[in-house]
Amino acid sequence: MIINIDKDSLFTIFDAEQFDQIGQNVQIMAPSMVDYHLGTLANFSEDDIYINRSNIQQSLSLNDYTLHIDYSDNIYMEYQKRDDYYETSSLW
């Protein structure tokens, strides 16, 4: 699934001024915090969109998420949608 991310929100969460700084700032964060913040951004997204991969300027892989920035400074996040429903078998 690919969604469009608000650049200002992403930069505020990861205390960055440019896309390059996100990768540096993520290195000092706990992986669970990175997943939490990116998952929160994904939950507030609208619909799956199409991205023209020939317009991608730079990509950044963060655990289960990949951030892309295009030449128009739009930021996209690509991830696999997970179901939060876990079925466990009964003991009885």
Q: What residues contact 84, with CB distance under 8 A and at least 6 apart?
A: none
Residue 88 covered by a domain: no
In total, how many domains does the chain have?
1
Q: Are 5 and 75 in contact (CB under 8 A)?
A: yes
The model's pTM is: 0.80
Residue span of the structural domain in which 66 resides = 2-79
Strand ranges in 27-70 using DSSP code E only, listed in sequence order: 56-62, 65-70
Q: Which two tokens stand for residue 69?
A: 């920035």
Placement of tokens 């951030």 in the chain: 67
pLDDT tens for 27-84 read 999 999 999 999 888 887 767 888 888 999 999 998 889 999 999 999 999 987 665 5
Residue 92 covered by a domain: no
Distance CA 43, CA 2 (A): 12
pLDDT tens for 17-38 read 999 999 999 999 999 999 999 9
